[in-house]
A and B are shown apart, each in its own frame.
Chain A
């Protein structure tokens, strides 16, 4: 629509790879626009009444004046300078001070049809001169026109207004002013008077919707010539620091990953996760039915982090800080010292306090303020009170991506209700989790016991066992797995089964002892027998020996007798 007036530009316009941008200073906006609004050009901010257009413009000028040393002129067609100053004072913008420093100039332009008689031809040169004078007097770089459409209601000759507006926007561009023009939303068009026809560089649409009695502000970049931009709707918040747009850094999944592992605070759980715990910067989901110990797992993690001297941030949507501290103390986790040392922050709020985007903004704010290395959100499932599943999911994607980009390890707990499958979460973020610990109660033999298993854990060899755990006065205690003939046994069934096994072992040992002594007895008996046989043998041997000796004596005696006989007979000898 805009014809580029080449005559006025003294130097040929350069088109660098990226359009030159002017930082708006509005939290989050510069991230989604890739550096701010188009420098030296006009941006149209349109939206319905109360959508925050004026504030958008005012913050743009205020930040420009205070942060970027770019003075600005605010041309107000609807409110006087005093009204404006009062209106934005509650947002922390001290306009009087900035105006006193010569960095901001508010010019209230009043055009009342009933005060003006039109008598012949006119133009809007007066407006140009006023604006030009204002710009020159403070050396302005930024201009806001709010809401220039009022000219259409103040003057009857719309043909003149249109021609003059076109001329005005060209003129501002030639002067190199980064301009914001606000426009009231029309029916079926972005603005009532079709201002988008004149402003072709950047159009931002603000929206204020109420659903389920909770209002949500949203911002959408309708177009941004010469620049890439997110086309999604971004929730934004107006709080005591002005406008806060919640950026989606999930435009790309480019965050660096860490190989560092950090302890879960439960050594045997570390063991289940490949021996050393979670990855730093990963997202951990702890889901389970009511009373399965989700907060206790989170408490251990926070405690472990503080022990390492790292800051932890605990968002509690269910319990007050004092209650969390008391309850965790009952299982032997004392968070009090960490709170005292400013290593742990507990931020407790009811989810219904405000809308999702406000929660998101608060999360951002608190995270930026406390700069933690781990964040716990307990529980995310409670947010269903303020948003639909898809909204919560998109919010969580944003927060998780943001945290990942800061390399903050996040642990979210999620309550699973019994009428759903255990392996789903209320808000469907399971795919976002890097490590998913599932807590469940195992019901058998008239009792309920707690079991834990690692449903998934990206990038590590993890245990596939269902482990029983106890909440003891020294924390969570993972028990040895007892696999009986009928599967994994827990609780008293495990105990009785273990007892049975122990008595079986005893019985077997006794049997062995018995057999041993029987054998011993037998051996002794045999040995006695051997001994007696040996004695018998010896006796026989002795007998033989004496017999042999007698024989010898007899032989000698016989010989002697024979000799004596011979002598008597006087028999001759040989």
Chain B
């Protein structure tokens, strides 16, 4: 990240507002980030359905074209539950970009999810 910043300042050869430039660069980079999300649900319960619906809406609105959402029914793949430390369901795991984050619930609190996914930007 630092490397990129230095390259930018040298190229444009302007007085530097480094904070603003850093943020701009960071935002742009983040907008290019690929999101790998995994949602664990337990069959087609009401909570599962809600969670799938809610997360799909969020992804389409904010991550259109650069996300990969995998929905896993742990009734069918119980062995995966252990690896990803699933206790509560539904659970959403943000695998990429790092850091890994976990969300539990029916994904109805959009604001919390956006914050957690680092999609709530300063200017929004």
Contact = CB atoms under 8 A, between A and B. Distances in A.
Contacts of A124: 87-89
A107 B82 contact: yes
Sorted nearest first, the 5 A-B pairs with minimum C-beta distance are A120-B105, A133-B78, A120-B108, A126-B86, A120-B106
A127 B87 contact: yes
Contact of A121 (B47, B87, B103): B47
A122 B90 contact: yes
Given A115-B102, A119-B104, A120-B108, A126 B47 contact: no
Interface string B96-124: 00000111111111001100100000000
Assign chain A's interface to a size class: 20 to 34
Contact of A122 (B78, B82, B88): B88
Contacts of B108: 119-121
Nearest to B106: A120
Nearest to A133: B78
Given A115-B102, A117-B116, A120-B109, A129 B42 contact: yes
Contacts of A134: 82
A117 B112 contact: yes
A493 interface: no
Interface in A193-224: none
Nearest to B92: A119
A125 B86 CA distance: 9
A109 B109 CA distance: 25
Contacts of A122: 47, 88-91, 104-106
Interface string B30-67: 00000000001010000100110010000000000000
B69 interface: no
Contacts of B91: 122, 126
B102 A121 contact: no
Nearest to B99: A115
A154 B107 CA distance: 18
Interface in A88-132: 107, 109-111, 115-127, 129-130, 132
A124 to B, nearest CB: 5
Contacts of B113: 117, 119
A79 to B, nearest CB: 14
B79 interface: yes
21 contacts: A107-B82, A110-B85, A111-B85, A111-B87, A119-B92, A119-B103, A119-B106, A119-B113, A119-B116, A120-B107, A120-B108, A121-B108, A122-B47, A122-B88, A122-B91, A125-B42, A126-B89, A127-B86, A129-B42, A129-B78, A130-B81
**Contact size class for B?**
20 to 34
Given A117-B101, A119-B106, A122-B105, 16 more contacts: A109-B85, A115-B101, A117-B112, A118-B104, A119-B103, A119-B105, A119-B107, A119-B112, A121-B50, A121-B106, A123-B47, A126-B74, A126-B86, A126-B88, A129-B42, A130-B81
A346 interface: no
Contacts of B26: none
B32 to A, nearest CB: 24
B105 to A, nearest CB: 3
A333 to B, nearest CB: 66
A117 B90 CA distance: 12
Nearest to A105: B82
Interface of A: 107, 109-111, 115-127, 129-130, 132-134, 151, 154-155
A126 B106 contact: no
Contacts of A133: 78-79, 81-82
A107 B79 CA distance: 11
Contacts of A125: 42, 88-89
Nearest to B104: A122
Nearest to B108: A120
B85 A123 contact: no
A127 B86 CA distance: 7
A123 to B, nearest CB: 6
Contacts of B116: 117, 119
A130 B88 contact: no
Contacts of A151: 87
A123 B51 CA distance: 13
B9 to A, nearest CB: 36
A115, A124, A126: residue with the most chain B Cβ atoms closer than 10 Å: A126
Contacts of B79: 133
Nearest to B116: A117
Contact of B78 (A111, A119, A130, A155): A130
Contacts of B87: 109, 111, 124, 126-127, 130, 151, 154-155
Q: Which of B42, B81, B107 gathers the greatest number of chain A CB atoms within 10 Å?
A: B81
Given A111-B87, A119-B106, A120-B107, A129 B47 contact: no
B76 to A, nearest CB: 10
Most chain B C-beta atoms within 10 Å of own C-beta, residue among A107, A121, A127, A133? A121
Contacts of A117: 101-104, 112-113, 116
Nearest to B43: A125
Contacts of A119: 92, 103-109, 112-113, 116
A115 B102 CA distance: 6
Contacts of A126: 40, 42, 74, 81, 86-89, 91
Contacts of B85: 109-111
Nearest to B88: A122
A10 to B, nearest CB: 22
A111 B81 CA distance: 13
A394 B98 CA distance: 62
Nearest to A77: B87
